[in-house]
Amino acid sequence: MPTTAQAQLHQALSQIPTARTSSEITDASNAFQHAFLAFASETDDNRQCVSAVAVESFDASSGSSAGLAVHGVPISSILNAAEGCDIPGQIRRAFPDMQQTDWDHALRVATVILVAFEASSHVTNVA
């Protein structure tokens, strides 16, 4: 069973796909930021993170109309673009047996999960 903070984060994430108006997007962003800090803790790193990450509206041509973004760039798009990039040294040191395909699979799962929490303007496939 999820903790209260974890349940709050789940609830905040579940608001994002239904956010359509600017007011709903602002409310979803505020709920996410509050729930993120409640779940992850209010460390300096986490506070800096939520000051840069918000629920934002996107260009509808991206396939989504709102989702988690870093200064306007959808996080799902960042992770999708990272697929195929070499495993970063820090990851390689932490997981020396990780293969490139494992890294790509981890990024793909994270991308798809983030896309699942985006407000769709139409049905899309993650390339």
Q: For every one of its 127 residues, what pLDDT tens digit does the chain have, with 9 covering 90 and above? A: 678 999 999 999 999 999 888 899 999 999 999 999 999 999 999 999 999 999 998 875 655 578 999 998 999 999 999 999 999 999 999 999 999 999 999 999 999 999 999 887 544 455 5
Query: What pLDDT, on a 0 to 100 scale, did the predictor assign at position 121?
Result: 57
pTM of the model: 0.84
Query: What pLDDT, on a 0 to 100 scale, did the predictor assign at position 13?
Result: 95
Query: What pLDDT, on a 0 to 100 scale, did the predictor assign at position 119?
Result: 81
Q: How many CB atoms lie within 10 A of CB 48?
A: 10
Pinpoint the alpha helices (H) of the chain.
4-15, 22-40, 44-52, 75-82, 89-94, 100-116
